[in-house]
Amino acid sequence: MKDISISVKKKDHEIKTSGRAIYVADMKFEGMFYAKVIRSTIAKGKIKEISLPNIPDNYYIIDAKDIPGKNALKIVESEQPIFSEGNIEYMGEAIMMIVGPDKRKIEELSEKIKITYEEEEPVFTIEEAYEKLVSYHYEKGDYKKAFQNADEILEETFITGYQEQAYIEPQGVIGIYENNKITIYGSMQCPYYVKEAVMLTMGMDDKHVQVIQNVTGGGFGGKEDYPSMIGCQVAVAAKKVKRPVALILDRKEDMLVTPKRHPARLKYRVALNNKKEITAIEADIRTNAGAYLGLSGVVLQRALIAAIGVYKIENLYVSGAAMKTNTVPNGAYRGFGAPQTFFAIEMLMNHIGEKLGLNPLEFKKKYIAKKGDTTATNGKYHYHVPLDEMIDKAEKISGYSKKYKKYSKPQTGRYRRGIGMSLFLHGCGFTGSAERDYIKSIAKLVKNEDDTVEIFVSNTDMGQGLHTTFSKIVANTLGIPLEKVYINNPDTDKVPNSGPTVASRSIMIVGKLLERAAKKMKEQWKPHEPLTIIEHYKHIDLIPWDIEKFQGDAYPAYSYGLNVVEVEVDMLLATTKLLGVWGIFDVGKAIDKNIIMGQLQGGMLQGIGYASMEKMENKNGQIYQANMTDYMIPTAKDTIPFNIELIDNPYEGGPFGAKGAGELPLVGVAPAYVAAVENAINKNITEIPLTPEKLMEKL
């Protein structure tokens, strides 16, 4: 059998390169209506009066009164209305929708709707916010005593900004109501999330709601929860007008109202003993949740679990809160809370190391966790932690320590150089026991009479190559050609619920189910006889997770990463040029080398953007950079080829030893980039994005 990592042509290669892929905006149904959402123009208050123009025949207003079930969006809790019932919590909140046959007429009508409000005092920032939508804290060891006995206490606060997913395809859905059944088509990551949300909003049961994923042009977390919102909105409309209803956001609307990465403020205190060793860390992590809880609680959990990065610190106090503000609700973006925390902990460790006159890496090495050590939450590193080998490899290919020493000497002239390194990990799958308690994944394999095999799962390919990697796992396990295995975009009427496509879980969790199913199928394989195998999730319970106490194994396994970034700073303009970017990753085993490289390069480039140029501000409640001209993501000219190497560290819980890889590459780039700039200019930096405007203030 060939090594599974050897790359193949992607399953969706032909359809995408030929332009034949059908995205939701390409779909037309007979008699289809278009929808436009009417949104609040204030950040907080009550609707006083709505004055509507004359609505012509064939045009309809859809609002909260049309909702047959609950006016509540099911995400984690169901606190957010589908359409406002009079209360406004953020600018852009949906109040009603106009649907009809002609988009221009809809535009015209929407301009004539006049809404008056009774405005209330909004809050926009973490500093102003006073309401915690959710909070957690945990302890380890005796942090109080460690701080009491400290020889020195250091304090530092870190600030991180918004980040917009900037998927190439804006969000969109189509809802159809026929024979007392709702069908939703759309661009999405999680068909069953949309289905459950629509069931609640429509008051319909499992059998009467169907969700079908279209070819999806990128998600990066941004299509985890929001498709549920627009899915519910078109479902309500489709039932009322008895026609297919399409709601396709344009780029500006998408950027204004869909969830982004949480801005965060991370306060750290560190106790050092008289040998200048870290004895305790206290961290307080606040995120800007926006107006509703949404995914903010689970994002915060990841942020808190990562509080001490890859290190072993005996005494801890970690607390955090998702703060309510009157801004667009934030949500998932690749990394899910971890990029914020890794920026803080890595910069903190660099700063302490440098303060002690050490190469930051030498300082960090003393604290790196090893197999058998306890995690921050008193779980355990059950498997080999390969960071030492990864550091050796990084030194060899990037020359980090030598360059660090060279660039640390005083530099003069317009252009100055620096290098930075970061160490990080990412827990694979859902936090704690959620896979067992909530997700309960089911995967199905069906062998047809012609000995082809179809994969039935609810996980989506959004460009990350899942159709190909899942097919490879099944084909390789069965020992049949890849062409004999196929998979379609999920349709909830056909596929079991194998869970959402989030949390770096698809390959490790669902891929494992498919591997097990394929093994069973192989055992029972009889040529030309149909066969169906259904496989359920089996939990590997190590140290049980207790969410109340925030204790135990937060994840079954971790993927590890190391980044090195080398930059040149132009002292006149405070701009930077990348000289080298290195990434060493342990993803267990690559199911497809090309696909993994695509994931790693793409994620790292998003990390470069997060660190340097992706600036998004909220001005008086509104996103200020709401188009792709003003919100800058790196182009090919802003980057250079990355040097990426993989470490083989197979994990028994994943198919062929594979672990999660989706989020990992974004998690650690920002601290490596910022450390490189610090090295060049010899100043400490505690905030991202480090735009030229920010950097200029330091020069």
Partner 1 sequence: MVKGYYPKTINEVLEILSMEEEHMLICGGSDLMVTKKFAQNMIFINQIEELKEIKEDSNKIYIGAGCVYKEMIDNEIIPEVLREAIKHIASPAIRNIASIGGNICNASPAGDTLPVLYAMDAIIVKAFINKDGNLYITRVPICDFILGVRKIALEKNEMVIAIEIDKESYKNMTYSYYKKVGGRKSSAISKLSFVGLMKIENNIIKDVKMAFGAVGPTALRSREGEKILIGTKISDIEEKKEAVINFYDKLIIPIDDQRSTAKYRKKACLNLLNDFITYKN
Write out the residues near partner 1 by the rule CB under 8 A: 414, 572-575, 613, 617, 624-625, 629-630, 632, 634-638, 692-693, 696
Q: Which two tokens stand for residue 351?
A: 């700063």
Q: Which long-range contacts (CB under 8 A, 24 or more apart) does 397-405 make?
A: 397/582, 397/643, 397/645, 398/564, 398/566, 398/580, 398/582, 398/643, 400/361, 400/564, 401/359, 401/361, 403/566, 404/359, 404/360, 404/361, 404/679, 405/359
Beta carbons of 481 and 169 less than 8 angstroms apart: no
As beta bridge partners, residue 581 has: 565
Measured from the CB of residue 609, what is the shortest distance to partner 1 in angstroms?
A: 9
CB of residue 630 to partner 1, shortest distance in Å: 4
Per the CB < 8 A criterion, the answer to whether 219 and 462 are in contact is: yes
Output 1 or 636, the one with its CB closest to partner 1: 636
Q: Which is nearer to partner 1, 248 or 428 (CB)?
A: 248
Encoding tokens for residue 141?
């060891």
Q: How far is the CB of 688 from partner 1 (least distance, A)?
A: 15
Based on CB atoms, which residue is closest to partner 1, 493 or 693? Answer: 693
Nearest distance, CB of residue 617 and partner 1, angstroms: 8
Residue 417 Cβ vs partner 1, minimum distance, rounded to whole Å: 18
Nearer to partner 1, 178 or 630 (CB): 630
By beta-carbon proximity to partner 1, the closer residue of 490 and 609 is: 609
- Give the nearest distance from C-beta 628 to partner 1 in angstroms: 9
CB under 8 Å to 43, separation ≥6 — which residues? 88, 89, 90, 91, 122, 124, 326, 327, 620, 621
For residue 474, give the 3-state DSSP assignment.
Answer: helix
Residue 416 CB, shortest distance to partner 1, in Å, is: 15
Measured CA to CA, the distance from residue 383 to residue 652 in angstroms comes to 10
Task: Please say which residue, 102 or 638, places its beta carbon nearer to partner 1.
Answer: 638
| Amino acid identity at 298 | V
Nearest approach in angstroms of CB 577 to partner 1 is 9
Q: Rounded distance, CA 376 to CA 85, Å?
A: 43
What is the closest distance, in whole angstroms, from the C-beta atom of residue 639 to partner 1 in the complex?
Answer: 9
**Residue nearer to partner 1 on the CB measure, 422 or 625:** 625
Minimum separation from the CB atom of position 580 to partner 1 (A): 17
The distance of closest approach from Cβ of residue 572 to partner 1 in the complex, given in angstroms and rounded to an integer, is 4
Residue 624 Cβ vs partner 1, minimum distance, rounded to whole Å: 5
Closer CB to partner 1, residue 638 or residue 645?
638
**Would you say 81 or 609 has its CB closer to partner 1?**
609
CA atoms within 13 A on the CB side of 384: 13
Cis upstream peptide for 634 (omega within 30°): no
Shortest separation between residue 571's beta carbon and partner 1, angstroms: 8
Total count of residues recorded for the chain: 699
Under a CB-based contact definition with an 8 Å cutoff, are residues 290 and 330 in contact?
yes
Give the residue ranges of DSSP H helices in 190-243: 191-202, 226-241
Beta strands 618-619 and 278-290: pairing type? unpaired
- Residue ranges with strand state E in 467-609: 485-487, 531-536, 558-570, 575-586
Closer to partner 1 by Cβ: residue 406 or 414: 414
Shortest gap between Cβ of 78 and partner 1 (angstroms)? Answer: 35
Q: How far is the CB of 346 from partner 1 (least distance, A)?
A: 25
Q: In this structure, are residues 588 and 619 in contact, taking their beta carbons and an 8 Å threshold?
A: no
Specify the residue, 412 or 629, whose C-beta has the smaller distance to partner 1: 629
Euclidean distance between CA atoms 201 and 256, whole angstroms:
24
Task: Specify the residue, 60 or 610, whose C-beta has the smaller distance to partner 1.
Answer: 610
- Kindly tell me which of 274 and 635 has the beta carbon lying closer to partner 1: 635
Of the pair 255, 474, the CB lying nearest partner 1 is at 255
Specify the pairing of strand 618-619 against strand 33-39.
Answer: unpaired
Question: 596: which residues sit within 8 A by CB, 6+ positions away?
Answer: 5, 587, 590, 646, 661
Calculate the CA dihedral of residues 318, 321, 322, 326 and round it to 10 degrees: -140
Query: Angle formed by the axes of helices 669-681 and 338-355, to 10°?
Result: 30
Which is nearer to partner 1, 14 or 250 (by Cβ)? 250
The strand order across the sheet containing 264-272 reads 132-140, 315-324, 278-290, 264-272, 152-160
By C-alpha distance, which of 571, 572, 597 is closest to 677?
571
Type and span of the H or E element at 422: strand 415-427
